[in-house]
Amino acid sequence: MARFQRFEDIEAWQRARQLANEVYDVSDEGPFARDFGLRDQVRRAGVSALSNIAEGFERDSPAEFIRFLTIAKGSVGELRAQLYIAADRAYLTPQQFQHLCGEATRVSRMLAGLIAYLRQDSGR
Protein backbone atom coordinates (compact mmCIF):
# COMPACT_ATOMS: atom_id res chain seq x y z
CA MET A 1 0.00 0.00 0.00
CA ALA A 2 1.36 3.40 -0.92
CA ARG A 3 2.05 6.03 1.70
CA PHE A 4 -0.39 8.89 1.65
CA GLN A 5 0.83 12.43 1.21
CA ARG A 6 -2.51 14.05 2.10
CA PHE A 7 -5.66 12.78 3.74
CA GLU A 8 -7.50 13.69 0.54
CA ASP A 9 -5.59 10.85 -1.17
CA ILE A 10 -7.17 8.22 1.08
CA GLU A 11 -9.95 6.43 -0.78
CA ALA A 12 -11.89 5.80 2.45
CA TRP A 13 -11.92 9.57 3.08
CA GLN A 14 -13.10 10.23 -0.49
CA ARG A 15 -15.93 7.70 -0.10
CA ALA A 16 -16.86 9.03 3.34
CA ARG A 17 -17.05 12.54 1.88
CA GLN A 18 -19.33 11.34 -0.91
CA LEU A 19 -21.49 9.47 1.61
CA ALA A 20 -21.81 12.54 3.85
CA ASN A 21 -22.93 14.64 0.90
CA GLU A 22 -25.49 12.01 -0.10
CA VAL A 23 -26.80 11.98 3.47
CA TYR A 24 -27.20 15.75 3.33
CA ASP A 25 -29.09 15.44 0.05
CA VAL A 26 -31.61 12.85 1.24
CA SER A 27 -32.13 14.53 4.61
CA ASP A 28 -33.06 17.79 2.90
CA GLU A 29 -36.29 16.32 1.53
CA GLY A 30 -39.81 15.75 2.86
CA PRO A 31 -40.47 14.65 6.42
CA PHE A 32 -36.78 13.81 6.96
CA ALA A 33 -35.97 17.51 6.67
CA ARG A 34 -38.50 18.30 9.42
CA ASP A 35 -37.24 15.66 11.88
CA PHE A 36 -34.55 17.99 13.14
CA GLY A 37 -33.13 15.62 15.75
CA LEU A 38 -32.60 12.63 13.46
CA ARG A 39 -31.63 14.80 10.50
CA ASP A 40 -28.93 16.57 12.48
CA GLN A 41 -27.66 13.35 14.09
CA VAL A 42 -27.38 11.58 10.72
CA ARG A 43 -25.52 14.52 9.28
CA ARG A 44 -23.15 14.73 12.25
CA ALA A 45 -22.33 11.02 12.02
CA GLY A 46 -21.59 11.34 8.30
CA VAL A 47 -19.37 14.37 8.76
CA SER A 48 -17.68 12.80 11.78
CA ALA A 49 -16.42 9.87 9.71
CA LEU A 50 -14.49 11.94 7.20
CA SER A 51 -13.41 14.46 9.83
CA ASN A 52 -11.84 11.78 12.03
CA ILE A 53 -9.96 10.28 9.09
CA ALA A 54 -8.52 13.72 8.34
CA GLU A 55 -7.76 14.56 11.96
CA GLY A 56 -6.01 11.25 12.59
CA PHE A 57 -3.90 11.61 9.47
CA GLU A 58 -2.82 15.11 10.46
CA ARG A 59 -1.67 13.90 13.89
CA ASP A 60 1.53 12.54 12.26
CA SER A 61 1.54 9.48 14.52
CA PRO A 62 0.63 5.98 13.34
CA ALA A 63 -0.94 5.16 16.71
CA GLU A 64 -3.04 8.33 16.66
CA PHE A 65 -4.05 7.70 13.05
CA ILE A 66 -5.23 4.21 13.95
CA ARG A 67 -7.15 5.56 16.94
CA PHE A 68 -8.96 8.14 14.83
CA LEU A 69 -9.67 5.62 12.09
CA THR A 70 -11.41 3.44 14.67
CA ILE A 71 -13.46 6.45 15.77
CA ALA A 72 -14.35 7.11 12.12
CA LYS A 73 -15.39 3.47 11.73
CA GLY A 74 -17.61 3.86 14.79
CA SER A 75 -19.21 6.95 13.26
CA VAL A 76 -20.00 4.98 10.10
CA GLY A 77 -21.66 2.31 12.25
CA GLU A 78 -23.65 5.01 14.02
CA LEU A 79 -24.74 6.39 10.66
CA ARG A 80 -25.89 2.95 9.50
CA ALA A 81 -27.97 2.51 12.68
CA GLN A 82 -29.58 5.91 12.13
CA LEU A 83 -30.35 5.05 8.51
CA TYR A 84 -32.41 2.11 9.80
CA ILE A 85 -34.52 4.52 11.87
CA ALA A 86 -34.90 6.84 8.87
CA ALA A 87 -36.05 3.88 6.77
CA ASP A 88 -38.41 2.70 9.53
CA ARG A 89 -39.99 6.17 9.58
CA ALA A 90 -40.29 6.06 5.75
CA TYR A 91 -37.94 9.03 5.38
CA LEU A 92 -35.95 7.00 2.87
CA THR A 93 -37.09 4.88 -0.03
CA PRO A 94 -35.94 1.26 0.08
CA GLN A 95 -33.54 2.10 -2.76
CA GLN A 96 -32.05 5.07 -0.90
CA PHE A 97 -31.66 2.97 2.23
CA GLN A 98 -29.95 0.11 0.37
CA HIS A 99 -27.62 2.48 -1.44
CA LEU A 100 -26.62 4.48 1.63
CA CYS A 101 -26.18 1.41 3.84
CA GLY A 102 -24.15 -0.24 1.10
CA GLU A 103 -21.89 2.80 0.84
CA ALA A 104 -21.53 3.00 4.62
CA THR A 105 -20.61 -0.69 4.76
CA ARG A 106 -18.05 -0.15 1.99
CA VAL A 107 -16.45 2.74 3.90
CA SER A 108 -16.41 0.66 7.08
CA ARG A 109 -14.66 -2.20 5.30
CA MET A 110 -12.13 0.17 3.79
CA LEU A 111 -11.39 1.60 7.21
CA ALA A 112 -11.04 -1.88 8.71
CA GLY A 113 -8.55 -2.77 5.99
CA LEU A 114 -6.56 0.40 6.51
CA ILE A 115 -6.51 -0.13 10.28
CA ALA A 116 -5.31 -3.71 9.85
CA TYR A 117 -2.59 -2.60 7.45
CA LEU A 118 -1.38 0.17 9.75
CA ARG A 119 -1.36 -2.14 12.77
CA GLN A 120 0.67 -4.72 10.85
CA ASP A 121 3.01 -2.04 9.49
CA SER A 122 3.60 -0.59 12.98
CA GLY A 123 4.09 -4.01 14.55
CA ARG A 124 0.99 -3.83 16.78
Q: Which has the closest alpha carbon to 12: 86, 85, 114, 96?
A: 114
Q: What is the mean pLDDT of residues 11-30?
A: 97
Residues 73-120: pLDDT tens digits? 999 999 999 999 999 999 999 999 999 999 999 999 999 999 999 999
Phi-psi region of 90 (alpha: psi -120 to 50; beta: other; left: phi over 0): left
In order of 26, 75, 105, 124, the CA distances from 102 in angstroms are 15, 15, 5, 30
Q: How many CA atoms lie within 13 A of 107 on its CB side?
A: 35
Q: How confident is the model at residue 4 (pLDDT cuts 50, 70, 90)?
A: confident
Q: Which CATH number is 53's domain given? A: 1.20.1440.60
Range(s) of the domain holding residue 90:
8-121
Number of separate domains in the chain: 1
Residues 51-76: pLDDT tens digits? 999 999 999 899 999 999 999 999 99
Phi-psi region of 2 (alpha: psi -120 to 50; beta: other; left: phi over 0): beta
